[in-house]
C-alpha cells in the first residue's frame, strides 16, 4: 500500500503545478466584458479615399488610424469603393478616437 501512495505523489505534484500554470495564464487575460467576443464595427460604409497609412475617409468623414494597431497593417489593403467596418478605440463621434481594427466586407461600390 505504501508504494502506491508514493507513486501517486509525483502525479499529484504535477497536476498541482499545471493547475498553478493555468491560473497564472488566466490571470494575464483582459478582464473586460468584451474579452473573447467578436468585434463589432462602430462605423461602416463605403471608402471615399485612403490617405496613406494614417487615415481613411468613409462617406465623407475622415478617421485616423491608430499607430502600431492591426488597422495600421490592414489599411494597406483598403481602396476607394470598398465597403468596410471600423472599430475605434473610443466613441465614434470623438475627435480623439482612432481606428484600431478594419473589417473587410469584400463589397465594392459601383463606379
Q: How many residues does the chain have?
A: 111
Full residue range of the structural domain in which residue 78 is found = 43-108
Distance CA 15, CA 25 (A): 15
The three grid cell numbers given for residue 36, joined into one nine-digit string: 473573447
State the CATH number of the domain containing residue 71.
Answer: 2.40.50
Give the gyration radius of the chain's Cα atoms. Answer: 24
The tens digit of pLDDT for each residue in 43-85 reads 999 999 999 999 999 988 999 999 999 999 999 999 999 999 9
Is 70 part of any domain? yes
The verdict on residue 62 lying in a domain is yes
Q: Is residue 86 part of a domain?
A: yes
**Top-confidence residue, 103 or 21:** 103
Q: To the nearest whole number, what is the mean pLDDT of the chain?
A: 78
pTM (2 d.p.): 0.63
In the chain, the number of structural domains is 1
Amino acid at each position: 500500500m505504501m508504494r502506491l501512495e508514493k507513486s501517486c505523489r509525483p502525479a499529484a505534484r504535477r497536476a498541482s503545478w499545471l493547475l498553478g500554470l493555468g491560473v497564472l495564464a488566466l490571470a494575464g487575460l483582459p478582464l473586460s466584458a468584451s474579452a473573447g467576443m467578436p468585434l463589432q464595427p462602430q462605423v461602416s460604409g463605403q471608402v471615399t479615399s485612403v490617405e496613406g497609412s494614417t487615415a481613411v475617409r468613409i462617406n465623407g468623414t475622415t478617421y485616423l488610424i491608430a499607430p502600431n494597431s492591426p488597422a495600421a497593417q490592414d489599411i494597406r489593403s483598403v481602396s476607394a469603393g470598398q465597403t468596410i467596418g471600423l472599430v475605434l478605440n473610443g466613441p465614434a463621434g470623438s475627435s480623439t478616437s482612432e481606428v484600431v481594427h478594419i473589417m473587410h466586407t469584400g463589397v465594392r461600390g459601383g463606379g
